[in-house]
Amino acid sequence: MNLTHYTAAMLATLLPFSARAEVPEVRIARQFSMGYLQFNVIDHEHLIQKHAAALGIPEVKVSTVRFNGPASMNDALLSDSVDIVGGSPNGMFTLWAKARGTPQEVRAITALVTLPYWITSNDPDIKTIADLDKCKRIPVPSVRVSSPAVTLEMAAARQYGIKNYARFDAATMTMSPADATIALLTGSGDVNCTMALPPFLQQQLEHPNIHAIASSFDLAGGPTTYTVAYTSMRFHDRNPKLYQAVYEALVEATDMVRKDVRTASRYWVEDSESKLTVDFVAAAGSGPGTEWTTIPLDTMKQAAFMAEIGTIKVKPTSWKDYFFPEAYGLPGS
C-alpha cells in the first residue's frame, strides 16, 4: 500500500469517530413544577432533533437535568454546564442584568406559560395579605430571585409601600414545591404558608385544613408570564442553526400543549415519576387563567419592580432588551 492509499485508509477509519465527536448537544435545565410542559413534549416527541434535521443538522444529542430553583440553574448556565434553561422571568432578569455585553449575556428565547399560583396556609387565622406577618416560614424555589419570591415582595410593596417590599423576606426559605407541600400538610419545620405552584397547589387544596389566600395575579396586579426558556448569547451566536431548531421546537411544543394538555401532562407524570394521575395534572394545567403561549405578558412590570428595589442594577427599556430577536415579531410586553 503506498502512502496515499494508507492516508486515505486512515482517514476513512478515523472519520466516523470524528463525526461522532462533533455531534452537537443541547443540554436543557428545568425545575420541578409543571410550568415547563414544553420541555417534556420536546423530550418525548424529539422536536429539537426534528427541526435540526430540517435545517441540515442530521444528529443532535438532547439531555435534560432538573434543578430546584433558578440560582443553581443560573450558575450552571454561566459555567456552560447547560445550554437552555426553563425558569421564571425573574431568575432570567438577574443574569441578564449581570452579564450584559459579555458572551455570557442571557436572554429569553420564548415565554412558556401564563398561569396563577397561590399563597396557601394551614392556619385558619391567615386569611388575607394583611395576615401574612403570621406566616412563620414560606417556602419558595429560591429566595429573592424566583418568581414566587419576587411576587411576595410585590405584594408587600402594594400592601405596605415600596420601602417595605422586603417585609416578608425573612420568612422565605428555599425548598422544592413538592417538599413545601409535604411540609405544609404535616406542619413540619414551622411551614404554615407556601407559594403553591400547580399541580402541588391543587394537591394541597384537596386537604380540608389547607386554604388559598391570594393568587399571584392578585399579588402582582394582574396576569404575568410565569416561565420562559432562556439561554446565553454564546449559545445563540455560536450555534445559529441549532438555536433556530430549539426556537422552532419550543413554538411547536407550545402549540401541542395548548391543543392537548393531557398528553403533555402524561409526559410530565412519567418524567417526574409522580404519583399524581394524568387527569389530575391535566386539570391543573388547564385551570382558570392558564395560557400556554410563547408571548411574554407584562414581564416589563416585573423587571421594573426588581430594578426599583435594587435586585437588578439595570432597568430595561423594552421587553425586547432581554429577548432574542427571533421573538421580536410577537406582541410581547
User: How far apart, in Å, do the first and last CA atoms of the chain sit?
Assistant: 68
Instruction: With a cut of 90, say whether residue 10 has pLDDT above it.
Output: no
What is the pLDDT, as a whole number, of residue 145? 87
Mean pLDDT for the stretch of residues 109-117: 97
In the predicted structure, residue 2 carries a pLDDT above the cut 60:
no
Cβ atoms 264, 286 nearer than 8 A: no
pLDDT at 22: 65
Return the CATH superfamily for domain 3-115+224-327. Answer: Periplasmic binding protein-like II (3.40.190.10)
pLDDT interval class at 11 (50, 70, 90):
very low
CB 167 within 8 A of CB 178: no
pLDDT, position 14: 45
Dump pLDDT digits (tens) for 281-328: 999 999 999 999 999 999 999 999 999 999 999 999 999 999 999 999
Domain limits of the chain? 3-115+224-327, 118-220
Q: What is the pLDDT of residue 30?
A: 85
Residues in a beta bridge with 27: 63
pTM of the model: 0.89
**Residue 102 confidence class, pLDDT cut points 50, 70, 90:** confident
Q: Mark 14-24 as b/e (b = at least 16 C-beta within 10 Å).
A: eeeeeeeeeeb
Contact call for residues 27 and 84 (beta carbons, < 8 A): yes
State the CATH class of domain 118-220: alpha beta
**63 C-beta neighbours (distance < 10 Å), count:** 12
- Stated length of the chain: 333
Q: What is the pLDDT of residues 13-41, one digit of tens each?
A: 444 433 344 689 999 998 888 999 999 99
**Single-letter residue type at 147:** S
Do 28 and 84 meet the contact criterion of CB atoms below 8 Å apart? yes
Per-residue pLDDT, 66:
85
| pLDDT greater at residue 113 or residue 22 | 113
In the 3-class helix/strand/coil scheme, how is the chain assigned residue by residue?
A: CCHHHHHHHHHHHHHHHHHHHCCCEEEEEECCCCCCHHHHHHHHHCHHHHHHHHCCCCCCEEEEEECCCHHHHHHHHHCCCCCEEEECHHHHHHHHHHHCCCCCCEEEEEEEEECCCEEEECCCCCCCHHHHHHCCEEEECCCCCCHHHHHHHHHHHHHHCHHHCCCCHHHEEECCHHHHHHHHHHCHHHECEEEECCCHHHHHHCCCCCEEEEEHHHHHCCCCEEEEEEEEHHHHHHCHHHHHHHHHHHHHHHHHHHHCHHHHHHHHHHHHCCCCCHHHHHHHCCCCCCEECCCCCCHHHHHHHHHHCCCCCCCCCCHHHHECHHHCCCCCC
Q: Which residue has the higher pLDDT, 246 or 177?
A: 246
* Nearest-angstrom CA–CA distance, 301 and 292: 20
pLDDT at 5: 45
**Rounded Cα gap, residues 54 and 50, in angstroms:** 7
Spatial distance between the Cα atoms of 123 and 135, rounded to a whole number of angstroms:
9
**pLDDT per residue over 148-206, tens digit each?**
999 999 999 999 999 999 999 999 999 989 999 999 999 899 999 999 999 999 999 99
Q: Looking at the predicted structure, is the pLDDT value of residue 71 above 80?
A: no
